[in-house]
């Protein structure tokens, strides 16, 4: 079975988000839920492998949380993140320690939520989420993958960062950089 490298996963995600950007003008004319649903459907149709389905599920579930609002408070954004995470966990049946995107996503969402609940700004909450996602990514390096495509590698997956956790870090970094 061929190995799914972080570089291939990033290229795959890049292609998907380029397709999202190509639809940017149309998406900007709608509410947040519709934007997130548009992102979901575009990722599902353009990103190969499990990542398209998983990130599509994330954005689709987040769209349900956002509804037809045109603005989200930091707390509402956190609720959308939580709903997206729950969708990924439900679909992929992964947990912390399985060496998947959940290893970075769950701590990032938790850090974001804790920061907002403690009164931090949106910018600080996203910075906390990035740091937590990065720590989650680092935690995947020594693990043997138990879920996802990397699990086909067995012991050979140890010593490498999980591609899904890598892409999760990149998404949170992008969100934080865009806010700045």
Please give the angle made by the CA atoms of 79, 62 and 176, to the nearest 5 degrees.
75
| The CATH number, out of the four listed (3.30.360.10, 1.25.40.340, 3.30.365.10, 3.30.70.3450), of the domain defined by the range 6-179 | 1.25.40.340
Half-sphere exposure of 172 (CA within 13 A, CB side): 33
Q: What pLDDT band is residue 90 in, cutting at 50, 70 and 90?
A: very high
pTM, full prediction = 0.90
Alpha helices in the chain (DSSP H): 6-22, 24-27, 32-46, 49-66, 74-92, 102-117, 122-140, 163-179
Residue 157 or 137, more confident: 137
Q: Are 111 and 119 in contact (CB under 8 A)?
A: no
Query: Which residues, 6+ apart, have CB-to-CB distance to 12 below 8 Å?
Result: 47, 48, 49, 51, 52
Alpha carbons 80 and 62: distance in angstroms, whole number: 4
Summarised one tens digit per residue, pLDDT across range 43-89 is 999 998 888 999 999 999 999 999 999 999 999 999 999 999 999 99
The pair of three-digit structure tokens given for residue 9, joined into one six-digit string: 């996963």
């Amino acid at each position: 079975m061929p190995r799914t490298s972080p570089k291939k996963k990033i290229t795959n995600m890049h292609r998907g988000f380029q397709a999202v950007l190509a639809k940017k003008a149309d998406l900007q004319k709608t509410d947040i839920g519709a934007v997130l649903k548009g992102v979901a459907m575009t990722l599902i149709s353009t990103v190969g492998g499990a990542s398209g389905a998983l990130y599509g599920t994330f954005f689709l579930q987040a769209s349900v949380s956002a509804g037809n609002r045109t603005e989200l408070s930091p707390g509402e954004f956190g609720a959308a993140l939580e709903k997206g995470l729950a969708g990924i966990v439900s679909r992929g049946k992964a947990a912390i320690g399985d060496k998947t995107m959940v290893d970075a996503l769950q701590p990032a969402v938790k850090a974001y939520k804790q920061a907002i609940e403690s009164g931090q700004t949106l910018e600080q909450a996203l910075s906390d989420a990035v740091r937590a996602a990065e720590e989650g990514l680092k935690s995947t390096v020594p693990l043997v993958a138990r879920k996802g495509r990397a699990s086909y590698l067995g012991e050979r997956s140890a010593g490498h960062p999980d591609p899904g956790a890598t892409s999760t870090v990149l998404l949170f970094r992008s969100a934080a950089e865009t806010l700045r």
